[in-house]
Structure 1
């Protein structure tokens, strides 16, 4: 057996073969030895040779060397007098297609690389294996891959959306939950599109989905016989959101609980009482206009102008939206301005619980900041130990504003201003509290557990809402039929904010009930969506829907 049988494709008959090695790689010259060739139009075999021509083909590398094949081919006369094609080029087997510039085995190898790596990375790897093609050619090779577009499913599928561009364009991914593979991609997330797809797949009997109304409607239209299962993850997210709204509604109770819990934990530490004096107020060096008739109390000129302009535009018939856009203000502010006859003065600074208490330490910072000797980090560590509740980045921003803006009034370095000690105040965010309320008690630390017990004793409404949320979460573990209906009846009768959440479940009761009593989950779909995102980002912005669909389904 000659060496050509190991180098060249076995499906083509070659006559004389010569192999040469030069600076550019390996050059193989071969002569076609087929006895006849079929006409591409009438498929009648012909042996009558018309002329000869050469085809320059790329092949897989040999020992890391680039390979080029110079194939000596022929043209034939068509012997069928009824055929309009008189002369045609030689046709080969599936190893070499018409107009191809490389053998099929080479194209398949490059297509596999393109499916895994995309255009740019795939092109780089093709150069490394001595079979170079450009990123654009790699993309075209991937686009030509044939795959089945009408795959049969196991009957249990999951549906979810994915983003072409987040916040703008979305598509739909359909996953076979039994075989753990993506079945199809849809170009949008409309109910009609999903219904049309389901009509072509009558074998579908169970569909897992999120709580989007469009998917619920599409499933009812396209597969009315299918059982719908709501996604448990999204249900728990909705539950946590409802619990957060309950905490927001009783924010005053939470603030009082934070204070009382701190006093209870630190009974011997003195409480900080803010002392306001003429030295503790740092007045900015801003020039005040002489014309004070435009001001109401201590209202700024900019705020007074927006107030008067908003009332003027509203009297002319403009809506709140255009006025807010024109004045670069929020709708809430414009609505408040319209209701008021006179803009009230700001008699004292308003502090939000989310704001830092930086202003309480201004006098101390003025006395102790020495450029070149004292660092921001040292000052920050000192005031944190004495009750500062802000982050280091916000502290640096405020210090830069005071120092560079000339607003800080430096006190003599001989003066020594001491800070009063503060107790360590523990404050939990509403998001943190919602996670704590839904977590297992054994997984909480001692402080979190003690505060939850204290909070539940302080407010019966918050305690009831947290208990209802925990019971709803336990429904997914017990999987008892009828337990969801009992929970909804109890939640609706309660005074907590979870009453609205329970009424929303009634609108999609069957799907949520299936999520409670069945073991089907949409988690597999979420994993496939993450895989889809990874493939989309490999294409470096070139992933149109058709190409992306090929990248996903051809794998």
Structure 2
């Protein structure tokens, strides 16, 4: 107390058992609230350490306990957490289901949430529909199941709780639509650039120097080589996993390379990534053509215009023009990236900045398919925000009949899960509480420093507040 160690001496009675058949020869009197048999901690101290373990897990919890004068190792804290009984599930009418990653791309688990109280109910290994069905059979009171569009969860909910209404989460619907829009925009990426005006003003002074074509970027060369190698092995009959081992690349990268029809499809995405120098490219090229080739000076000049990056990025941008020692090519504004154009289409018109709205308007005027794509997206958004699920089938039919293949594929997938999607567009339920608990679970898992056994993680998720 007050930084001074205190020892409390208790005088208790010890009893001797006269029954020869009793295994306890002697036993000591217990003081309620202070002592328990075979325990080194009082109930109050044990409860304090358990709460520290639930909040901070082992290492961080042990450090906090030491700072307040309690000696307890990390394993002791974890054992205390494991010994706490799990809370009773009780009656659940609206259930939320989502997966989370123990190791992304490799190992997943499933989290169940009571949507009325936002309280975690259960956590189990894997994301198979059979496990969900087994849990639902023990809870016939479930009336609504909020889930993502996983076919496994859909089948598990249908088998385990045929009486429940399945609701597809609107966030996942919008995210899936965004992926289809991005694929559609990527197919039209060559038309994203503004057409060059006929007479763009006075030309720069003519000089005899001949501009050499800039050398191809190393990343472009590497992507072309990887694409060619992956397709060669794929045509030989090798699996994607085997190709990944052969080339030393991640399976996701191999999947991207194999699914790309040409190397240009892969290269285009890399080249269109927004860069910190992009807004100042026109100024840099003009100053270069005026004879200013010092990267440090150009860096200082664009800093005064608001450039937030470093000098190294400017050096890298100018490096491609130094070998020819001629004029940099005439440079207009960089065409929008696929993701930028996608964000314009996916954003509510009232929330678009005026400049972006103007760019989208001109883009729609130039490309009829992107104009129709924008119309489809805005109809879907109005249907989703206004809860007009009765319009879903008409929207699906219109999208399927359009020539936009990714959008048509998205529409066909909606038809496979039609009832759940329609419920998601009509009912007030959402998986927002599930996503919030999944994010909290990720934080709890990171605190465990690799000691995230399933039973310990389940206790922390179900009991931590």
Q: TM-score, normalised by structure 1?
A: 0.66
1: CA distance, partners of 2:355 / 2:248: 44
Please point out which of 404, 408, 420 is paired with 1:511.
420
Residues 276/200 of structure 1: CA separation in 2 closer, same or farther (3 Å cut) = farther
Kept in 1, the 8 Å contact 2:136–2:160? The answer is yes
- Report if the CA contact (8 A) 2:383-2:389 is conserved: no
Instruction: Say which of 264, 269, 276 aligns to 2:201.
Output: 269
- SS of 2:116's partner is coil
Cα contact 2:14–2:29 (8 A) shared by 1 = no
3-state SS, counterpart of residue 123 of structure 2: strand
Q: Of 70, 76, 82, which aligns to 1:143?
A: 82
CA distance in 1, matches of 2:431, 2:28: 54
The equivalent of 1:39 in structure 2 is: none
Decide whether aligned partners of structure 1 residues 230 and 409 sit closer, same or farther in structure 2, where only a CA change above 3 A counts.
closer
Change beyond 3 A, Cα 1:270–1:200 = farther
Q: Are the equivalent residues in 1 in contact too, given 2:289–2:328 (CA < 8 A)?
A: no
Structure 1 regions of 5+ residues with no counterpart?
A: 1-61, 285-299, 336-349, 412-416
C-alpha distance in 1, partners of 2:211/2:402?
53
Change (3 A) 1:469 1:283: closer
- Structure of higher CA gyration radius: 1
Task: Give the whole-Å Cα distance in 2 for the aligned partners of 1:318 and 1:439.
Answer: 43
SS at match of 1:185: strand
SS of 2:78's equivalent in the other structure is helix
1:470: how far off?
1.0
- Of 165, 177, 189 in structure 2, the residue corresponding to residue 239 of structure 1 is 177
Q: How does 1:38-187 map to 2 (within 5 A)?
A: 62-73=1-12, 75-81=14-20, 83-85=21-23, 87-92=25-30, 95=33, 96-148=35-87, 150-187=88-125
Q: Select which of 184, 189, 195 maps to 1:259.
A: 195
Instruction: Say whether the 8 Å CA contact 1:488–1:502 is kept in structure 2.
Output: yes
Given the alignment of the two structures, is residue 491 of structure 1 paired with residue 419 of structure 2, yes or no? no
Let me know the Cα RMSD of the aligned residues. 4.5
Residue of structure 1 in register with 2:441 after alignment: 532
**How far apart, CA to CA, are the structure 2 residues paired with 1:353 and 1:133?**
55
Q: Contact conserved, 1:175 with 1:181, CA < 8 A, in 2?
A: yes
1:187, distance to aligned residue in structure 2 (A): 1.7
2:431 to 491, 504, 522: 522
Change in CA separation of 1:314 and 1:89 when aligned onto 2, cut-off 3 Å: closer
Assess, with a 3 A threshold, how the Cα gap between structure 1 residues 198 and 437 changes in structure 2: closer, same or farther.
same
* Deviation by residue 1:398-445 (Cα, 9 ceiling, x = unmatched): 66x78xxxx96697xxxxx7768754x252221121221122222222
1:506 is displaced (CA, Å) by 0.3
Rounded Cα–Cα distance in structure 1 between residues aligned with 2:315 and 2:343: 31
Whether the 8 Å CA contact 2:167–2:424 is kept in 1: the answer is yes
Q: Is the CA contact (8 Å cut-off) linking 2:186 and 2:338 kept in structure 1?
A: yes
Query: RCO greater where, 1 or 2, for CA within 8 Å and sep 6 or more?
Result: 2
Stretch deviating more after TM superposition (453-462 or 233-242)? 453-462
- The 8 Å contact of residues 160 and 210 in structure 1, kept in 2 or not, is answered as yes
SS in structure 1 at match of 2:99: strand
Pick from 353, 356, 379: which aligns with 2:298?
379
User: 2:319 matched to 1:430?
Assistant: no
Deviation (angstroms), 1:135:
2.4
Q: How big is the shift at 1:504?
A: 0.7
Aligned to 1:396, what secondary structure does the other structure show? helix
